[in-house]
Structure 1
């Protein structure tokens, strides 16, 4: 070690965790071995101490002793920017606190290549479970024996009572968006949906259609995007083909950015002529021109909930009530939405 280098930090030990938590090292060992008879207060003290010391148990040694696996895999779509990093951070933290190692895998390539990647992933002998933020087609999961052996949670799926669960499933905020825009006088709408193999995209589309019928509004169409800004940009051509549209509800912020760019290029002012509402409350939304109205979620908590659902499944535990609750969402109102334009003003594209 050269003088310029400081002492190499060593990982915390189980005895140091025990000392900080005010318990015996045997008690910490019981916690790591998932002793269900421990008091909740004791468990909480140990978790706090582990987090403060950045304690990571020797998972390989534990696996050999207990014959259990401690590796979980988080699956992201190829375009992983559509799963915000805050969601991934929440999931990883929950896994580490429970004593699991996390690997992150992005599904890339053709449909066939993605299918092969999933099959290879699930065949791993040391795999404890999978949390996926991308849809996993049934044919990619193999036979019932594989699914039974490897617990899998797809964020945005439903439980056996058809309650929305996971990170992005609930689409009810779309109804609140529609009610808000209706209050501004809007009656003619367009929806840019996400890819409909995502339950979140289907739920937001379904909520949009419900609000159209419930509020007596008129929908001029639904375009299918792929979460990308480019797909929103291309969808704008369908919006501009319907001159009566005054409000566009978009399934995520990325696509909303593309919509607004295309409208701007064609001389259609937001929100003077058309109001646009997104979803995700990305950091960029506040600084776009105009700033984008959006739906804010506690993404860290939702990532944590997804991982805790997986951990409960892996351990054969009942889900705690908070893991079945709907995510907290709120509308963030910004410059991209305004009162409906005068009825005499149509949505026209200026000619050069």
Structure 2
């Protein structure tokens, strides 16, 4: 009497090893290890061989095993605002992708505009490779670096003149170019809607605005400080002086606030750009389709994310900052329907 044989459970294929990747790529396992640590010094053709072998073997580095062997952490905390609007989301995606390609795992922590002790507690409780922040941390930054000097910290929003040539978030050069352009169209009286001054980008745009107004002997009718939102731009727009030597040009530190300004001007019976020209910053998609379409500043936010994360990884690996192959990220002015010649300016 025959008996049905018991089914043999299917074997789960063992994950590929670094040695199998090296053998298939025709390189040493030390070379594969160097690739996993960030491509340092490898020839382009070697990188292609290793990546091809990893893809064919479906090889995924075991971060936990790597951490145990090297006694190093491969976790990076990424601090993002609670409201991740369009420009921030582009920087965030690029930064996370760059960390992933370099073999690090990221954990995104969302906090309010005013960072809380929650972040300091997290850094104190966890073994981290580094911290990457999309928002300024204020006094919390100094607390983290003083209590945890072994945890590198990069704040993308805080870069100042040392990153000026890279076209970073803080580079305000286009603000001067934009005001010069508006002055060439006959505008003499300006108003500025600034972003939160804790942000280096906002502070630099305001500083550049004021310096350019002075240099060109123009008139500033004042400024208001918003919080990057359309609502704050709208509220600022309600306060812009439009009588007795009226303002004819408004520079808002981001597109959201510029759109809010245009709504307020509309409610006050002013036409954009026939009565008042409005300029923003960020090149948001909705600005292109708004009526009138918004003049703005375009920048490569993906490159900002890559550059900032590469800086952090250089610090984690004790490499010279900038050794990770940073890109030049140019910015350009985009002139659309919201800017035109000043009222009464000859054609």
Structure 1 unpaired stretches of 5+: 1-7, 344-352
Structure 2 unpaired stretches of 5+: 1-11
Larger radius of gyration: 2
Aligned to 2:183: 182
Residue 31 of structure 1, CA deviation: 2.6
| TM-score between both structures, scaled by the size of structure 2 | 0.85
Aligned to 2:240: 239
Matched, 1:68 2:72: yes
CA contact (8 A) 1:229 1:258 kept: yes
Secondary structure at the aligned position of 1:238 is classed as coil
Deviations 1:90-114 (A, max 9, x none): 11111111100111111138x5xx4
Aligned to 2:330: 328
**Distance (Å, rounded) in 2 between the aligned partners of 1:213 and 1:136:** 31
Aligned to 2:194: 193
Residue 323 of structure 1, CA deviation: 6.4
Secondary structure at the aligned position of 1:291 is classed as coil
**195-204 or 165-174, which moves further after superposition?**
165-174
| Alignment CA distance shift 1:97-1:18 (3 Å) | farther
| Alignment CA distance shift 1:10-1:221 (3 Å) | farther
Once the two structures are superposed, the pairs formed by residues 90-169 of structure 1 within 5 Å of their partners are 90-108=94-112, 111=114, 114-139=115-140, 141-142=142-143, 145-158=146-159, 162-164=162-164, 167-169=168-170
Q: How many residues align?
A: 332
Aligned to 1:224: 225
**Distance (Å, rounded) in 1 between the aligned partners of 2:79 and 2:59:** 24
Please, what is the CA RMSD of the aligned residues? 3.1
Deviations 1:252-297 (A, max 9, x none): 0010110011111222110011000000001111111111011001
**Distance (Å, rounded) in 2 between the aligned partners of 1:149 and 1:171:** 32
Once the two structures are superposed, the pairs formed by residues 240-279 of structure 1 within 5 Å of their partners are 240-241=241-242, 244-279=246-281
Aligned to 1:295: 297
Deviations 1:117-147 (A, max 9, x none): 1112211432111111111122464265424
Residue 76 of structure 1, CA deviation: 1.2
